[in-house]
Amino acid sequence: MAAKEAYSVIRLDQVEALPTFGELKWKPLRRPLGVNAFGVNAYWAENPGDELIEEHDELGAGAGHHEEMYVVIGGAARFTVAGDEFDAPSRTVVFIRDPAARRGAVATEADTTALAVGGVAGQPYSVSPWESVAHAIPAWRSGDYPSARGTIVSGLEEHPDNPSLLYELACLEALDGEPEEAIEHLRRAVELRPDYAKNAQADEDFASIRGHPGFPQ
C-alpha cells in the first residue's frame, strides 16, 4: 500500500460544523476519513449554554446500540448521564457502556468540541442509521429535497426497512411533492414503529398530505 493510502490527516478546525438535529452542530469525521472499523465524529458548540451532545440513548430506531465514548478536546461541557450531572473540562473522557442510559451535554465555555467514538461490544462495526439523516440535513434545510432524499435512500440500502429512515424519507417526499411515495413509506414506518403515527399527526413536514385518505391515524 502506498504511503498516501495508508493514513489520513484532518484538522478539526478546518472541518465545517454542519447543522443537524435541532440546533446541534457536528463535524463529520468517519466518512471523510474513510473509517470502517468504528464510529467516530465530533460535535461543536460555539457559545456557553449551546447544546453539544443531543439528549438521547442508543436504543432508538435510528441509533446504533453503541457503547459510546466522548472526549472533550477543547472548551468545557456539562454532561447529564443516566440522571447524573457533572462537569467535563477539556481532556475529560466520558465512557457510557449502557446503550439504554440517556445522555447529553451542553457547553460551559465558548468553542467547545467533543470527539465521539462508538461501536457495539463484540460485533463488527455497522454504520448507524442516524448518520444518513445527519448527512441529509444540510440539503434538507436548504430546500434541496432531491439530494436529501438520495442520501436517505443510500442509508436504506445499508439498513433496509429501518423505520427511522423510512419516516424521514416520507417527510422529504411530502415536502418534494410526492404524496403517493410519502404515504407508502410513512405507512411502512408506522407498521414497524406504531408510535410514529402520533409523531406524524404533529409533524409539519406532512401538512400537505395529512388529509390524504391513506395517511396513518
Cα–Cα distance between 21 and 168 in angstroms, integer?
12
Which residues touch 199 (CB under 8 Å, ≥6 apart)?
167
What pLDDT, in 10s, does the model give residues 94-123? 999 999 999 999 999 999 999 999 999 999
Residue 167 has pLDDT above 80, yes or no: yes
Our measurement of the distance from residue 193's CA atom to the centroid of its chain's CA atoms, rounded to an integer in Å, reads 18
- Read off the pTM: 0.86
Q: Where are the domains of the chain?
A: 3-119, 130-206
Residue 4 has pLDDT above 90, yes or no: no
Architecture of domain 130-206: Alpha Horseshoe (1.25)
State residue 157 phi and psi, 5-degree precision.
-65, -30
- Which grid cell sits at 141? 434545510
- Which grid cell sits at 153? 435512500
Task: Please check whether residue 31 is in contact with residue 50, taking contact to mean a CB–CB distance below 8 angstroms.
Answer: no
**For residue 201, what pLDDT band results from cuts at 50, 70 and 90?**
very high
Pick the CATH number of 3-119 from 3.30.1130.10, 3.40.50.1100, 2.60.120.10, 3.40.50.2300: 2.60.120.10
Find, among 138, 103, 115, the residue nearest to 20 by Cα: 138
Longest dimension (CA), the chain: 59
Interval 34-43 mean pLDDT:
94
* pLDDT computed for residue 118 by the predictor: 95
Task: Please check whether residue 126 is in contact with residue 51, taking contact to mean a CB–CB distance below 8 angstroms.
Answer: no
Which CB contacts under 8 angstroms, 24+ apart, belong to 6-13?
A: 8/32, 8/33, 8/34, 12/42, 12/73, 12/113
Which residues touch 157 (CB under 8 Å, ≥6 apart)?
none
